[in-house]
Amino acid sequence: MNRTRVCLTAAIALFAHEAAAEMNFNRIASFATPANMAEGEDLNRETSAEIISATEDGMTLVYTDSPLGVIGRIDITDPKAPKAMGNVDMGGEPTSVVVAGQTALVGVNTSESYTQPSGKLVTVDVASGEVVSECDLGGQPDSIAKSADNSFVTLAIENERDEDFGDGRVGQEPAGYMVKLPLKDNAPVCEEMLKIDVTGLTEIAPQDPEPEFADVNGLGEIAVTLQENNAIVIIGADGKVMNHFSAGAVDLTEIDATDERGALIFTETQMGRLREPDGLGWIDNDHFVIANEGDMDGGSRGITVFHKDGTVVYESGNTFEHAVIQTGHYPDKRSDAKGIEPEGMEIATFGDTPYAFVLAERASVAGVYDMTDPANPVLKQILPSGISPEGAVAIPSRNLLATANEADLGEDGAARAHVMIYEYQDAPAAYPTITSAGADELIGWGALSGMTFADGKVYAVNDSFYGFQPTIFQIDATQTPAKIEKAIRVTRAGQPAQKLDMEGIVADGEGGFWIASEGRTDRVVPHAMYHVNAKGAIKEEIGLPAELMAVEKRFGFEGITKIGDTLWMAVQREWADDDKGMVKLVAYNTETEEWGAVRYPLDKGDAGWVGLSEITLHGDAVYFIERDNQIGDAAKIKQITRVAVADLVPAPLGGELPVVTKEVVRDLIPDLKAFGGYVVDKVEGLTFDGEGNMLIVTDNDGVDDSSGETFFLNLGPVKAMN
């Protein structure tokens, strides 16, 4: 795939929703899995949503929850207001689920060890939660799929390897196999179970196949990926192997393949990268698509469409990952592994259009492909999908799609596991809100923080997550989504500037910028302001005076603005000499080099801490982002406030500082909820455009323990001060 095709795909197909004439998928609701726990249970326990299915009427979702050993049920009669129906204990680790009618068929792992694998198929009445029956599968199940006519189910019995044994290589018996079970009235006929041998078919470890993901076409044929074996097997309706072939390899170019660099540099290659597919879905009776996640030796970061005779009819190469990069969802810390890791898969037809929904586990997105022509899939959308999407289910009869997102980061105070619900609408795509698609080069971005406006453009900085690539991004905010047009690297002596944590930026009125860097003394990152020219070169550095250094703490400058000759910086949290709930607004006169400050009163939060994340001048007031550090339902304070410029009269440092009077201008929580997900933690950037519209942006933490979602929002004008 050449670069021109990548740009055209992204600029024309993926973000063509400006025309607003076509159908799009938009998220309408989310459901946090702890809500399914019973009264009195410890809600802080780890929970998850992994593989997901739906009842035939489309009114109930069922998902597997491995940490709790249950399946969870969600009432989506009103899909915009999902309701908990509770969990059902599976007596083991549920690995997969499919629903036939109103009956959930659940693959459950009961293995004592890797060398003694065991499992069962559990049948559950979805409405009542009653366990109806169990079938012994003889091994450890992974995925499950059913025929369209509900005549049978098939399970991939993986009997997975011990990755701590023998360097984690395949060649660890007992071997995996496939199972086919007939259904009668949506219940399995256990005594008629067919075990299908798939040994001896692969080039890699033929004695130890590990079936991963299966799907059934309209002819009753089963396609299954053998991920670690880098192979695909086709099983006929008679239960016999009808074809098998290697999944092959891909030459990857223009990728980032180096971990822990703190920079997005897409100039590297991986030649002969094994696909090692996970998810698979039939497009029609002859073609299927695979998601090339990788495992031992591979992971080609994209999708491939095969004819069932083994012919490759389409290879995405780097194009899927490039589209994800442009939406700001690239997981830099996974660069040396498998990049965005396409994993789960769902195929469904909405209207007359067959779609493939490809889940990128590490990027936390779902790519929506129009599969009308299997040889020429078109990437239509990138959907935000919670953290680590594992499974998806489409409900075309109700124009709905749901994803199950397995990561539960509650222990770290971050997002819990969620199920996300989307609707197929005659409406513009709501996401992404900002993209680098259409730029002259491939621009990776993330962790956006402070913003400023100058000469018709918005400028935003990234923070220390990209410590080896500090960047000022030039943004055209007049377009929807907003367009990142240029990446201006911040340099010192011609090299990427080190020891910066850029949290604020303001135009200097002369083509350059002042940048506020939040210091961390324990990491030898100074609290400072930097004056850079239009090319990003640092021309001047101003450190803090002794009076401030004597009381500094980690949470320092989180924004900068300029009033006349004076720079004003917002300190995020209390320093050593501040009363609880009071933070400094620090002033520095660039002409006289005098320092001063005032104090700003914070609202009191219910949990965690409350602090400032931005300061910007507009008219006769200075505006702030004031927020707590909470996420989801725990988030209570995400707001815009302002202080009259006339109130900003700095007093000398070291003495009594005056307290300014603030006014709350806007509660941002409804704005953040409008995207159907949970309320994100970090609203970080604020500026005003040339028309007086208030613009905000959120920080996605570089897609590290984060959903990667960035919201760049135009909130319109604000009412003038009295």
Does residue 242 register a pLDDT over 90? yes
Q: Would you state the pLDDT for residue 699?
A: 98
Residue 192 is which amino acid? Answer: E
Nearest-angstrom CA–CA distance, 276 and 281: 15
For the chain, the average pLDDT equals 95
Q: Would you state the pLDDT for residue 14?
A: 54
Total-model pTM: 0.95
Instruction: Report which of 53, 1, 50, 24 is spatially closest to residue 303, judged by C-alpha positions.
Output: 1
Nearest-angstrom CA–CA distance, 481 and 458: 13
Higher-confidence residue of 721 and 85: namely: 85
pLDDT bracket for residue 21 (50, 70, 90): low
8 A C-beta contact, residue 500 and residue 489: no
Does residue 12 register a pLDDT over 80? no
Does residue 579 register a pLDDT over 90? yes
pLDDT bracket for residue 337 (50, 70, 90): confident
8 A C-beta contact, residue 703 and residue 447: no
Mean of the pLDDT values across residues 660-683? Answer: 97
108: tokens are: 């459950």
Share of the chain above pLDDT 70, in %: 97
pLDDT bracket for residue 166 (50, 70, 90): confident
Does residue 20 register a pLDDT over 80? no
8 A C-beta contact, residue 506 and residue 616: yes
Mean of the pLDDT values across residues 275-298? Answer: 97
Q: Would you state the pLDDT for residue 260?
A: 65
Burial of 424 (0-12, 13-18, 19+ CB in 10 A): buried
Contacts of 163 (CB under 8 A, 6+ apart): none
8 A C-beta contact, residue 321 and residue 358: no
Share of the chain above pLDDT 90, in %: 94
Three-state secondary structure call for residue 332: helix
> Domain limits of the chain?
434-717
Mean of the pLDDT values across residues 143-148? Answer: 98
pLDDT digit string, tens, across residues 637-647:
999 999 999 99
Does residue 334 register a pLDDT over 70? yes
pLDDT bracket for residue 133 (50, 70, 90): very high
User: Which of 148-152, 332-336, 521-525 is most confident?
Assistant: 148-152
DSSP 8-state symbol, 294: -
**CA-based angle 232:115:69, to the nearest 5?**
80
Does residue 10 register a pLDDT over 70? no
Phi, psi of 326 (to 5 degrees): -65, -25
What CA dihedral angle connects 224, 225, 229 and 235, to 10 degrees? 20
Strand order in the sheet with 693-698: 683-688, 693-698, 712-717
Does residue 539 register a pLDDT over 80? yes
Give the residue carrying structure tokens 């440092």: 653
Three-state secondary structure call for residue 351: coil
Three-state secondary structure call for residue 6: helix
Contacts of 243 (CB under 8 A, 6+ apart): 233, 234, 308, 309, 310
Nearest-angstrom CA–CA distance, 192 and 290: 30
Nearest-angstrom CA–CA distance, 409 and 705: 7
Mean of the pLDDT values across residues 66-91? Answer: 98
In this predicted structure, which of 102-111, 130-139, 333-342, 466-475 has the lowest mean pLDDT? 333-342
Q: Tell me the CA end-to-end span of the chain in Å, nearest whole number.
A: 58
Nearest-angstrom CA–CA distance, 53 and 64: 9
Q: Would you state the pLDDT for residue 407?
A: 96
Give the residue carrying structure tokens 């299927």: 288
Three-state secondary structure call for residue 366: strand
Phi, psi of 449 (to 5 degrees): -130, -115
DSSP 8-state symbol, 493: T
Burial of 378 (0-12, 13-18, 19+ CB in 10 A): middle
Three-state secondary structure call for residue 277: coil
Phi, psi of 7 (to 5 degrees): -65, -40
Contacts of 632 (CB under 8 A, 6+ apart): 32, 415, 416, 678, 679
Contacts of 128 (CB under 8 A, 6+ apart): none
CATH class of this structure's domain 434-717: mainly beta
8 A C-beta contact, residue 695 and residue 686: yes
Strand 231-235 and strand 152-157: the pairing is: unpaired
Nearest-angstrom CA–CA distance, 575 and 570: 12
Mean of the pLDDT values across residues 421-444? Answer: 97
Q: Would you state the pLDDT for residue 6?
A: 37
Taking each continuous run of H as one helix and of E as one strand, the counts in the chain are 4, 53
687: tokens are: 């500026």
CA-to-CA separations, 95 to 50, 190, 213, 217, 367, in angstroms, rounded: 8, 19, 11, 22, 23
Mean of the pLDDT values across residues 53-76? Answer: 98
Mean of the pLDDT values across residues 323-350? Answer: 96
Nearest-angstrom CA–CA distance, 146 and 181: 9
Positive or negative: CA dihedral 74, 76, 80, 81: negative
74: tokens are: 């969600």
Q: Would you state the pLDDT for residue 167?
A: 83
Contacts of 57 (CB under 8 A, 6+ apart): 102
Q: Would you state the pLDDT for residue 4?
A: 34
Q: Residue 532: how many CB atoms within 10 A of its CB?
A: 25
pLDDT bracket for residue 720 (50, 70, 90): confident
Nearest-angstrom CA–CA distance, 359 and 362: 9
Residue 260 is which amino acid? Answer: E
Q: Would you state the pLDDT for residue 179?
A: 98
Q: Would you state the pLDDT for residue 258?
A: 82
Does residue 682 register a pLDDT over 80? yes
Q: Would you state the pLDDT for residue 5?
A: 34
Does residue 709 register a pLDDT over 90? yes
Mean of the pLDDT values across residues 573-595? Answer: 97
Does residue 541 register a pLDDT over 50? yes
Does residue 11 register a pLDDT over 90? no
Q: Would you state the pLDDT for residue 275?
A: 98
Longest dimension (CA), the chain: 89
8 A C-beta contact, residue 165 and residue 101: no
Nearest-angstrom CA–CA distance, 473 and 488: 6
pLDDT bracket for residue 695 (50, 70, 90): very high
Q: Would you state the pLDDT for residue 473?
A: 98
